[in-house]
Amino acid sequence: MTSPSATAARTLLAALVRLGVREVVLAPGSRSAPLAYAAAEAAEAGLLDLTVRVDEREAGFTAVGLVRGAALGGSHHRDVAPVAVVTTSGTAVANLHPAVLEAHHAGLPLLLLTADRPHEVRGTGASQTIDQPGIFGGAVRLAVDVPAPDGRPGEENDLVHLAARAVDAASGARSGFPGPVQLNLAFRDPLVPDADDATQWPDVRPPRVLPPPAASLDVSPWTAGELTDGGTLVVAGDGDDGSARRLAEARGWPLLAECVTPSAGGPRLVPAHAHVLAASPLTADVRRVVVVGRPTLSRPVQRLIAREDVDVVLVAPAGAPWADAPRGARTVLPEVPLGWFLPDAMLGDGLRTVRRDRWRDAWSAAGVAAAAAVDRALDLDRLGGGQGTATSAEGPGPLTAEAAVRILADALTPVDVLVVGSSNPVRDLDLVHRWTAQPRVVANRGVAGIDGLLSTAVGTALALGRPDRGGIEGRTVRALVGDLTFLHGAGGLAAARGEARPQLQVVVVNDAGGSIFTGLEHGALAESAPSRAAAVERVFGTPHDVDLGALCAAHGLPHVVVTDAAALRAALATPGRGTSVVEVRVDRDGRRARAAAVADALRTALAD
């Protein structure tokens, strides 16, 4: 007879498949064997896609990438089926925590199927046994400690209904707050199915869980006059679904959109907006701000939201906590009110719209001036080209980090996908991109860590390569990361023999250390107090001599080193098949001086 553990695992997986789960990421282990066999069986039957990773932390972030990739088809995270992650017991579960935190703060639906020892051996010193129930604290939407199955009547029905609760909580179908869910599943021996087990795949019928009916918001905290007057800005951060751009274009309001949002393009976008806020006299005249999503990339935006003389409206999805680190919000809305998209003629008078148009044009001019000043200060003019340009003038001088990011940004088209790492890469991209139509950008801004970025990129590329789910076979996903992020997540490049290598080109800007600290107070301290420079370099710069090419070779990945614009463009134009790495070697020296030059150029350009 089939063991109760094997039967329970197959029943649970069958229920999850029936509820729409199509992706399972698994890291190997003994206690999770019933789930592993069930997942392999379901994958062989074509019921789901199984991805195997040797490292639980990277398995968790691969699942994060699979969710993000699935959402790029136009869905919100709450409309994407949860991705399941299977681990064995012990520290394997603890290694999921970084990915769980990212999923929690970013609202990504994950199902954590964590195998555990049965209750009778917990607390006895049994090997690979820790206190797993509740290990993720408040970072999960639901946590259930499931006793080991013993074949009792009704046991399978209990698991089917538990699966429905788990999928509902993870997807946020009723709560509006998607995120991770932990099912801590105890299993007793025997953990393997019988060799001649020919049991049919369970035909289960989980309950249908329907979301509450949506109701459009038709109440506005602002008057019609305020909606048509000048003085208003729209800010878009992580989590914006494009509403910020639609609102800015409908109302004629300047748009300050971070590069990680789908709003980072169009006629209302203000380039280098953080620097414009910091240097332009226009900032003093801001009276109202609409914040869609969670801006995380610049201090000037946070200072704007914190101003007591600015009326700040936050748009946060219903059910989800709103992000307001400066504590400046006066109103929190579940969505942009429908009335805010009405034509001017239905809202206000001509005098106000004239003031609004002058306001819009002034910010547009400031953005143009700021973009030109940044390009001059960073010597990006010599690169020429533009979005989608394959060739352009090279010009003299070494390739800087900002120039490398600009070349990559220019090479992307609106149908391309870029996974961008935290720290300097995302901030450089925000500063130097000049998109007229932005590509789709993925970034882990939930907690903005550097861990798991490579696995997130792998998962995103895997999701976008599923032809049966709208993916485009052969499409290249690119990732932009720094060298420390690459080293931190190099385990994400490891794949078991036979596992698919997605079409992914990783661009590593290698300056042999952590250059982001150069632009913070630590860099200022090293500059003003030479006696502190060595300590700052050691504990913040963290210089290294790791041979990235040898590391790639160990993983069997093609690797190329580039040091000039022509070589980088050539590498981007010919990514090859499968996963590959482009290492862009740049010098960390000069980063602080270039930042100072940008600030000086912007003060001059925006003084008028």
Residue-wise pLDDT tens digits, 423-477: 999 999 999 999 988 899 999 999 999 999 999 999 999 999 887 666 666 678 9
Q: Are residues 273 and 177 in the same domain?
A: no
CA dihedral for 443, 447, 448, 454, sign (positive or negative): negative
Where among 162, 186, 210 does a domain terminate? 186
Q: Are residues 337 and 384 in the same domain?
A: no
Q: Are residues 243 and 165 in the same domain?
A: no
- Provide the strand spans (E) within 118-245: 142-146, 180-186, 232-236
Q: Are residues 41 and 141 in the same domain?
A: yes
Residue 282 has pLDDT above 90, yes or no: yes
Residue 497 has pLDDT above 90, yes or no: no
Where among 340, 366, 392 does a domain terminate? 366
Q: For the domain that residue 32 is a member of, what is the CATH number?
A: 3.40.50.970
534 pLDDT tier (thresholds 50, 70, 90)? confident
Please report whether residue 203 resides in a domain.
no
Q: Are residues 124 and 251 in the same domain?
A: no
| DSSP single-letter state for residue 346 | G
Tell me what pLDDT residue 393 has: 46
What 3-state DSSP class applies to 471? coil
Closest CA to 33 of 62, 6, 70: 6
Task: Name the residue with higher pLDDT: 326 or 348.
Answer: 326
What whole-number percentage of the chain has pLDDT above 70?
Answer: 95
Q: For the domain that residue 358 is a member of, what is the CATH number?
A: 3.40.50.1220
Inter-residue contact 116 to 5 (CB < 8 Å): no
Mean pLDDT of 130-155: 95
The per-residue pLDDT of the chain, averaged, comes to 91
In this predicted model, what pLDDT tens digit does every residue of 21-40 receive, in sequence order? 999 999 999 999 999 999 99
Tell me what pLDDT residue 469 has: 63
What range does the domain containing 167 cover? 4-186
Q: Are residues 12 and 38 in the same domain?
A: yes
Please report whether residue 601 resides in a domain.
yes
Separation CA 408–CA 478 (nearest Å): 9
Inter-residue contact 488 to 444 (CB < 8 Å): no
390 pLDDT tier (thresholds 50, 70, 90)? very low
Q: Are residues 395 and 528 in the same domain?
A: yes
Q: Are residues 430 and 559 in the same domain?
A: yes
- 210-214, 300-304, 522-526 — which one is most confidently predicted on average? 300-304
Q: Are residues 382 and 310 in the same domain?
A: no
Q: Are residues 358 and 382 in the same domain?
A: no
Please report whether residue 206 resides in a domain.
no
Separation CA 506–CA 420 (nearest Å): 10
In sequence order, the 6+-apart residues with CB closer than 8 A to the CB of 188 are 4, 5, 118, 148, 149, 150
Q: Are residues 481 and 399 in the same domain?
A: yes
Please report whether residue 42 resides in a domain.
yes
Kindly report which listed range (84-98, 106-120, 525-539) carries the lowest average pLDDT score: 525-539
Tokens linked to 44: 């062989």
Separation CA 204–CA 316 (nearest Å): 37
In this predicted model, what pLDDT tens digit does every residue of 200-233 receive, in sequence order? 889 999 998 888 877 777 888 999 999 999 999 9
Tell me what pLDDT residue 347 has: 83
Q: Are residues 252 and 356 in the same domain?
A: yes
Mean pLDDT of 153-182: 95
Please report whether residue 359 resides in a domain.
yes
Task: Name the residue with higher pLDDT: 581 or 415.
Answer: 581
Where among 138, 169, 186 does a domain terminate? 186
Please report whether residue 213 resides in a domain.
no
Strand 180-186 relative to strand 142-146: parallel, antiparallel, unpaired? Answer: parallel
Please report whether residue 214 resides in a domain.
no
Q: How many domains does the chain have?
A: 3
Burial of 97 (0-12, 13-18, 19+ CB in 10 A): middle
Burial of 248 (0-12, 13-18, 19+ CB in 10 A): buried
Tell me what pLDDT residue 106 has: 94
Please report whether residue 132 resides in a domain.
yes
Tell me what pLDDT residue 2 has: 78
First to last CA, the chain: 83
CA dihedral for 397, 400, 404, 407, sign (positive or negative): negative
